[in-house]
Chain A
Amino acid sequence: MSVDLSQFYEVFFEESFEGLDAMESELLGLEPGTPDNETINTIFRAAHSIKGGSGTFGFNSVSEFTHVIETLLDQIRDGRRLLTQHQIDLFLQSVDCMRDMLNCLRNNEEPDVELAQPLKLAFEKILNGDETPGDDEAPSDVTPATSTLDTHWHISLKPGIDILKTGNEPIFMLQEIAELGDAKIAIDVSLVPMLNAVEPDNLYLSWQIDLTSQCKEEDIAEIFDWIIDESEIEITQSSNLVDNKDDAGDRLPVETENTQDSKPENLTNASTESSAVVTPPPAPKKEATQSKATESSSIRVSIDKVDSLINMVGELVITQAMLTQLTDGEFDKSKLASIQEGMAQLAHNTRDLQESVMRIRMLPISFVFSRFPRLVRDTSKKLNKKINLVLRGENTELDKTVMEKISDPMVHLVRNSMDHGIEIPEERLATGKEETGTLTLNAYHQGGNVVVEIVDDGKGLNTDKIKSKAIENGLIKESDDLSEQQINELIFEPGFSTADEVSDLSGRGVGMDVVRRNIQALNGSVELQSVKGKGSTFTIRLPLTLAILDGQLIRVADHIYIIPLINIIESLQIDPSKVNNVGGEYDVLRLRDEYVPIIRLHQAFNHQADCSKLTEGLLVVVESDNGKVGIWVDELLGQQQVVIKSLEANYRKVDGISGATILGDGTVSLIIDIIGLVKLAGLRKAVRVNALAGKQDAGAR
């Protein structure tokens, strides 16, 4: 019987990437010297599983590379070697390298060994600098438990020779095994030396155990938790149906290393093999392999969410059964009330179910936050700055789609804060601050929004520099008198960068405007506060989900459109005396201190409008990417939450429209994309010019 191993690839990759993430986060917490055993063990275990897995699947380039890492880790773990900063850096680099290799393999490409080779050599150099022999790892594969019925287990237990010295007593383990089920235990005394050579502290015995029990493999493995590192333990399932020896290829070995304290092995025993015990892969993951899932097409859902979903479905079924019963057979009017009641319950159930399903898409923002410790570490090193990263509100939940799209803008903002915000240590000390700067990422819910703040305690924005740069780039004029806040916000203008030198961190001029555009594309907004010398804060506001938005229904002729409520600043009736026509191209309304260009929606969308005079309709003032725009419509209708449907799924992208939704009466209504509409109306430039003119005007007052 041969099984196509490739069906397990996806599980392997997913687990390996998780392992790499774990390694990375633990490595970041490491200090040179003799590190915490638990930490090293976690890293070791991750490396070990990747090695074992890649070996099984024949990804030799990965397993060979991991082997060197593992050997070094093992020596560090045993206290035979001190951990140096250089080694930590090498480990981190190798995490990146492994990630690249695994990504290549995942895409069915040959991994680039060029990258791995220098790292491998560096590791080998470290290893050869010392005479200590590396441990031989012998991964052994063992069948995962599959059945809850009585299973025959064969356990081969060969404890390490000095486990008695560490206070372990095999008798107790054997007793525990016997408690699991029907056990036949045979002792092997072949290794007991002549009496004169016996060291009373050493254990020379080994055992062969045949166990018939309902237990799972983990249960057996657990008993040996304390001695796994020093001992050879093999647990095999010898079912009556399957011959173990013949189907070795069927098995999916996943190796774990025990975490418990392993005392330094004495040198004569250094060549003793440490062996691995296998735990079966968790069942849900197996299913995941069947659909060739890519990274973004699968999500992990916590069990309580699934449970609540099952509850809802249960209730839905009950309600449905009730309704079926009511409408079955003869129908008379007396049942009408019960049916109405049932329908109300059905509506209630459906709404609950919808909410629960939506909740499944929500993931904690720690998925995004987790990449920042590494980023901050590497970047601060490159910049010679000392930066302490503080993460808050990591459990704030956010729609998966939003999460994927927010990650890049956040990286940009964090880099920006590190590059431009936080000062070098000398400068900080000179201004009476602590040497180490603090960068805080804070996420929380506010209203229907998720707010993410990026706070640094650096020098704040250099308003003078921004101003001179803006003048140089022609964004504003020398004579413009803008408030500090207005000047600071200029960094969101396209083509703006204040870095004195173009570094590879920031300063390529494709900066903040892209960030702002990306966030706005998610129906979000980004704000900035800065206090000179004290630091700056970027605040990103995002809708909880992309699937639902709060919309304002508007009417143009007999067409109903939806404007996202988050874009709307105000709605007003137009005072014709304040409207001017600019060069015959477009109208602007002077609204307090700003000039707002007017888009006539019926013109942009080619509809016949009811109203011909500006005064008859209403102006909805919205925020576009560059400034305010007025959208002139016939009438405002209600506000409601709408579920966004894709228009592109069956049609194609439509300019000025971001999607569609279905209204209460079953008709389709289209959702207006403000930025697209401004472009469609050919007012892109006008909006910016007027926004700046407004600021200038405001400053003049």
Chain B
Amino acid sequence: MNIDELNARLVESTVNEQDYFDEFQQYLTFLMNGEEYGVDILRVQEIRGWEKCTVIPNSSDYVRGVLNLRGTVVPVIDLRVRFGLANAEYSQITVVIVVKLRQDDKDKIMGLVVDAVSDVHALKRSQINVSPELGDNQNSEFIQGLGQVENKMLILLDLNNILD
């Protein structure tokens, strides 16, 4: 699925959102290091190809910098570095998912760098399981739950306060 198709599905998803609301929640899924992750599609604003951005001095290593999103200055976070995954490479299919998140109690727009976008899945509440507690895992605070779609496992993320 290419970016244009996905962007088209994004528009569609917001139109149909009301119908599904009670039973289904839609997730945009993407790949990082071979695993499939999902974020609430209502938080996703658009998907862009990766491009070089302006480095912010003395920032954490997972903050790639800031980019110009039609006049708004938006920080870009490499989610792979944030989660400590190996192989944070930049290739043709590396994309930036622009999402609206809560950070320090304010809505902020940020870009997330991931390996590739995958699909849009509608998940029933019943399809989502609480992720097992793994003790001291730093990333677990961002994991909302695990979703099951056609024998695939999706790691559903809640990325509020990702900058902390």
By a beta-carbon cutoff of 8 Å, the part of chain A in contact with chain B is 559, 604-607, 645-647, 649-652, 654-657, 660, 662, 666-670, 680
Contact B67 A668 (CB under 8 A): yes
CB pair B73–A652 under 8 Å, yes or no, is no
> Could you tell me the distance in whole angstroms from the C-beta of A127 to the nearest C-beta in chain B?
53
B100 to chain A, nearest CB (A): 9
Q: What would 4 more interface pairs be, CB under 8 Å, given A654-B57, A667-B54?
A: A651-B66, A656-B57, A662-B73, A668-B54
**Interface assignment of B147: CB less than 8 Å from any CB of chain A:** no
The size of the chain B interface, using a CB distance under 8 A, is 22
A residues near B53, Cβ cutoff 8 Å = 667-668
Q: Is the CB of B57 within 8 A of A650?
A: no
Interface string of B52-66 (1 = CB under 8 A from A): 011111110000011
Query: Contact between A660 and B58 (Cβ–Cβ < 8 Å)?
Result: no
Q: Which B residues are in CB contact (< 8 Å) with A647? A: 56, 66, 73
B82 shortest CB reach to chain A, Å: 14
Residues of B within 8 A of A662 (CB): 68, 71, 73
19 contacts between A and B (CB under 8 A): A605-B58, A645-B71, A645-B73, A646-B73, A647-B66, A647-B73, A649-B72, A650-B73, A650-B75, A654-B56, A654-B59, A656-B57, A656-B58, A662-B68, A669-B54, A670-B54, A670-B56, A670-B57, A670-B66
B104 at the interface (CB under 8 A from A): yes
Residues in A whose Cβ lies below 8 Å from that of B97: none
Q: Which of A649, A654, A669, A680 contacts B108 (CB 8 A)?
A: A649
Contact status B74-A559, CB under 8 Å: no
Q: How far is the CA of A605 from the CA of B163 in the complex (A)?
A: 20
The CA-CA distance from A141 to B9 in the complex, in Å, is 57
B113 in contact (CB, < 8 A): no
Q: Which of B56, B75, B110: most chain A Cβ within 10 A?
A: B56
B57 touches A605 (CB 8 A): yes
Secondary structure call for the B interface? strand
The 8 A-B pairs at the shortest CB distance, nearest first, are namely: A605-B57, A668-B54, A651-B75, A660-B73, A650-B108, A645-B73, A668-B66, A662-B68
Known: A650-B74, A650-B75, A651-B75. A660 touches B66 (CB 8 A): yes
Residues of the A chain whose Cβ atoms lie less than 8 Å from the Cβ of B59: 654
C-alpha gap A650/B106 in the complex (Å): 9
Point out the residue from A559, A649, A651 that lies within 8 Å of B55, measured CB to CB: A559
B157 close to A (CB within 8 Å): no
Please report the C-alpha to C-alpha distance between residue A657 and residue B59 in the assembled complex, in whole angstroms: 12
How far in angstroms is the closest Cβ of chain B from A201?
72
Q: Is the CB of A606 within 8 A of B58?
A: yes
Q: Which residue of B lies closest to A669 (CB)?
A: B54
From residue B101, how far is it (CB to closest CB) to chain A in Å? 9
Say if the beta carbon of B109 comes within 8 Å of chain A. yes
- Write out the residue numbers on chain A whose beta carbons fall within 8 Å of the beta carbon of B71: 645, 662
Which of B58, B65, B110 interacts with A650 by CB under 8 Å?
B110
Q: Which residues of B contact A604 (CB under 8 A)?
A: 57
Docked-complex contact B57 and A652, CB < 8 angstroms: no
Instruction: A669 to B55: give the CA distance in the assembly, Å.
Output: 9
Nearest CB in chain A: distance from B150 CB, A: 36
CA distance A643 to B72 in the complex (A): 12
Distance of A654 Cα from B72 Cα, bound (Å): 17
- A651 x B72 contact (CB < 8 A): no
- Chain B nearest CB from A220 CB (Å) reads 51
Give every chain A residue within 8 A of B58 (Cβ-Cβ): 605-606, 654-656, 680
Distance of A669 Cα from B66 Cα, bound (Å): 9
Q: Is the Cβ of A668 less than 8 Å from the Cβ of B57?
A: no
B54 — nearest CB in chain A belongs to which residue? A668
Distance A662 CA – B68 CA, assembled complex (angstroms)? 7
Chain A residue nearest in CB terms to B111: A650
Q: Which residue of A lies closest to B59 (CB)?
A: A654
Q: Closest chain B residue to A656 by CB distance? A: B57
Q: Kindly provide the distance from the CB of B105 to the nearest chain A CB, expressed in whole angstroms.
A: 12
The closest CB in chain B to the CB of A605 belongs to B57
Chain A: which residue is nearest B103 at the CB level?
Answer: A652
CB-CB contacts below 8 Å: B58-104 with A:
58-59, 65-68, 71-75, 103-104
Q: Is the CB of B56 within 8 A of A649?
A: no
B99 to chain A, nearest CB (A): 11
A605 CB contacts on chain B under 8 angstroms:
57-58
Measured CA separation A646–B68 after assembly (Å)? 12
Assembled-state Cα–Cα distance A660/B54 (Å): 10
Instruction: From the candidates A645, A652, A655, A657, name the one contacting B104 in the complex (CB within 8 A).
Output: A652
| Residues of chain A contacted by B103 (CB below 8 angstroms) | 652
Complex: A467 Cα to B71 Cα, angstroms: 51
Contact (Cβ within 8 A) B73 A668 = yes
**How many angstroms from the CA of A607 to the CA of B66 in the assembled complex?**
16
B57 touches A657 (CB 8 A): yes
| B59 CB, min distance to chain A CBs, angstroms | 7
Q: Return the chain A residue nearest B57 by Cβ.
A: A605
Given contacts A650-B109, A668-B67, contact A645 B54 (CB under 8 A): no
| A667→B108 contact, CB < 8 A | no
Tell me which residues across on chain B come within 8 A of A667, comparing CB atoms. Answer: 53-54, 68
Task: Report the separation of the CA atoms of residues A570 and B72 in the bound assembly, to the nearest whole angstrom.
Answer: 32
Contacts of A680 in B (CB 8 A): 58
| Per-residue contact bits, chain B 146-164, to A (CB 8 Å; 1 contact, 0 not) | 0000000000000000010
B57 touches A606 (CB 8 A): yes
Q: Of all chain A residues, which has the CB nearest B71? A: A662
In this complex, which of A605, A607, A646, A649 has the most chain B Cβ atoms within 10 angstroms of its Cβ? Answer: A649
A649 touches B73 (CB 8 A): yes
